[in-house]
Amino acid sequence: MNKIFRKQQLTPYEADYAQWCAEQGALLREGRLSDLDRENLAEEIESLGRSDKREIASRLGTLILHLLKWGFQPEQRKTGWLLTIREQRHRIGKLIDESPSLKACPRKQLTGEFEFARLKAIDETGLPEKHFPVDCPYQIADVLDQDFFPGEPWLPNQLIRD
């Protein structure tokens, strides 16, 4: 984008976010640092890291929920559960590969995500609350390991097709 912007012609952050982003990118490329909306730009850059952490937490919660269902309802195991477990592990791994500084993030979020996943597992399975452990029974290395599946061993032909 080779537009030349005058300061008064710049789109305010609150008015049109997409346009503001395009203009800020153009200003950076043109080296017009004094014309940048530094405060909002800094906030946006900082929020990128927070959004990756939130995504890891969300994916970790989904992963733990499915591990709980897998381990505590072996007779109900579904292909969809398997696919969800594999996908969440894969996506978390990709986020960490792209931002290695987030490697400790899943370990730090494990307890909090387990607590909510446990409640969801109780609601989804209909099993009594006492059926599920209060503390996470999994180590983070196992949670993220593509070969780890809790509970009884299984064969692909034993899965219920969704």
pLDDT at 124: 97
- Confidence class for position 45, pLDDT limits 50, 70, 90: very high
**Which residues make Cβ contacts (< 8 Å) with residue 20, sequence separation at least 6?**
10, 11, 12, 13, 37, 40
Domains in the chain: boundaries: 1-36, 50-158
131 and 124 Cβ atoms separated by less than 8 Å = no
- Confidence class for position 111, pLDDT limits 50, 70, 90: very high
Q: What does the pLDDT average to over 80-88? A: 98
Burial 51-72 (b: 16+ CB within 10 A, else e): ebbeebbebbbbbbbbbbbbbb
For the entire predicted model, the pTM comes to 0.82
pLDDT digits (tens, 9 = 90+) for 2-29: 555 555 589 999 999 999 999 999 999 9
pLDDT at 48: 86
